[in-house]
Amino acid sequence: MPGGSPVPNRYIKSELKSYRLLWEEERPIRWPYMKILREYSTLKEFYPEINPYVEAYRIRENVWALFQESMDGAGDLWMYVINGPERVLLIDTGFGVGDLKGLVQHLVGSDKEILVANTHHHYDHAYGNAQFARCYCHQDEEFSMRRTMNPHIWDYLFDENGKNIYTEFNRNDIIPYQEYELILIPTGYRFDLGKGYEVEAIPLRGHSAGQCAYLDHHNHIIFTGDIGGAGRRYEGDPCADNCTVETLWRDMQVVVSRLDEIEAMFPGHGMLDVTSSLLRYELDAHDRAEWTGAGAVCHEHPSGDGGQIQPDECVPQDTVPALRKQGGKERENRLSAILHRPTVSGKPDAEGRKTSGGDRASLLQDHCTLPGK
């Protein structure tokens, strides 16, 4: 979301050609993480003669995370490059400022075909699409994505005098817009990067109508895009109703049921290479957002054995935030129970507290038996 404050975050050394004028509020965990990563990491590669707006970090033998500053006052962002045996997959394209295609070709050291897949259509994730002849996105994202397919997408970054509003950069460094082909993919689509190397599309809708994660089956890592909260609905979008926390919650349950396939997650913003068990906490946070007041939670069976939960089999739910405040063995046991067992509320817990009401419990039953969408 465009915005930002003139109050800067504390200094992080940067050789990027961009310079932020407006800032997102400094994040207490993200800022020190980025300070250390950007100033001290040996993973960093920077090729200003090719693209002075992007830093690359080699996060796996064949994978890079590409860092770009936000151009519209929001959070700095990540794109990702997977160098497969025969083809390259670029996940997201940032703001489209600077030569992204040239940088990717330089990193992989070849002119292999570059497939481009978007997590979603937002400014900071898809405005470099026009540097490529075709781009993939989840089919539910089509309406949103087509809204961005025009040469005026960068206009909002400049005032009436043509000056940068949010971040200082040279307008001539925007690679001029060209029409590109949008290819829609269904849930479960697998990109073939050659010699059996596959990357699977797993929708994580809610933040946008067709926001999609990508699971690298070779490295067992998932690129999640943005999964914070429900996004804006566009009038006329047949998938607008996906933009709810509930949809995100349903889709996240599917991902959480597959955690044994995922070693680490790489989001669209912030800390990288995060343990995939964080997704359970993320799911818990969405539970709280969706069912505030009830404290009600109903998880898909985490073992992923396909078994469906009946509410009677479920155990009362403590909240992770509540347990974090407690200490000792009891806390560990109960936290473990939350994170490893299917749960649903609607019954009194050990202290006799009722954790949810009847209507809500029946809704939760639907969630239990109908994970995914």
Beta strand 264-267 pairing with 221-225? parallel
The residue (of 129 and 343) whose beta carbon lies closer to Zn ion is 129
Whether the Cβ atoms of residue 135 and residue 180 lie closer than 8 Å to each other: yes
Minimum distance between the CB of residue 206 and Zn ion, rounded to whole angstroms?
11
Q: Which is nearer to Zn ion, 2 or 304 (CB)?
A: 2
Measured CA to CA, the distance from residue 188 to residue 304 in angstroms comes to 16
Helix spans in 63-134 (H): 100-108, 123-126
Residues between 331 and 350 that touch Zn ion (CB under 5 A)? none
**CB of residue 171 to Zn ion, shortest distance in Å:** 22
Binds Zn ion (CB under 5 A): choice among 38, 87, 101, 122: 122
69 binds Zn ion (CB under 5 A): no
d(Cα 176, Cα 154) in Å, to the nearest integer? Answer: 10
Q: What angle do CA 206, 208, 212 make, to 5 degrees?
A: 85
Among 72, 92, 124, 284, binds Zn ion (CB under 5 A): 124
Examine residue 141 and tell whether it contacts Zn ion (CB under 5 A).
Answer: no
- For 132, 227, 264, the CA distances from 181, given in Å and listed in that order, are 9, 26, 31
Q: How many helices (H) and strands (E) does the chain have?
A: 9, 16
Contact indicator for 92, 119 with CB cutoff of 8 Å = yes
Q: How far is the CB of 53 from Zn ion (least distance, A)?
A: 16
Position 250 contacts Zn ion (CB under 5 A): no
Q: Does 96 bind Zn ion (CB under 5 A)?
A: no
Whole-angstrom CA distances from 351 to 117, 208, 344, 348 are 49, 39, 16, 7
Asked if residue 268 binds Zn ion (CB under 5 A), the reply is yes
By beta-carbon proximity to Zn ion, the closer residue of 127 and 197 is 127
- Output the smallest distance, CB 41 to Zn ion, in A: 22
Which stretch in 19-27, 80-88, 264-272, 288-296 sits in contact with Zn ion by CB under 5 A?
264-272
Give the separation between CA 168 and CA 47, rounded to whole angstroms.
19
Q: Does 140 bind Zn ion (CB under 5 A)?
A: no
Quote the least distance from Cβ 213 to Zn ion, whole Å: 13
> Residue 220 or residue 232: which is nearer to Zn ion going by CB?
232
Cα distance between residue 302 and residue 285, in whole Å: 16
For Zn ion, the closer of residues 201 and 296 by Cβ is: 201
3-state class of 11 per DSSP?
A: coil
3-state DSSP assignment of residue 101: helix
Beta-strand pair 77-83/167-168: unpaired
Give the nearest distance from C-beta 139 to Zn ion in angstroms: 18
For Zn ion, give the closer residue by CB, 1 or 370: 1
User: In the set 216, 226, 287, 300, which binds Zn ion (CB under 5 A)?
Assistant: 226
**Token pair for residue 100?**
């992204």
> Is residue 301 a contact point for Zn ion (CB under 5 A)?
no
203 vs 268 by CB, closer to Zn ion: 268
Count of residues binding Zn ion (CB under 5 A)? 4
Q: Which residues bind Zn ion (CB under 5 A)?
A: 122, 124, 226, 268
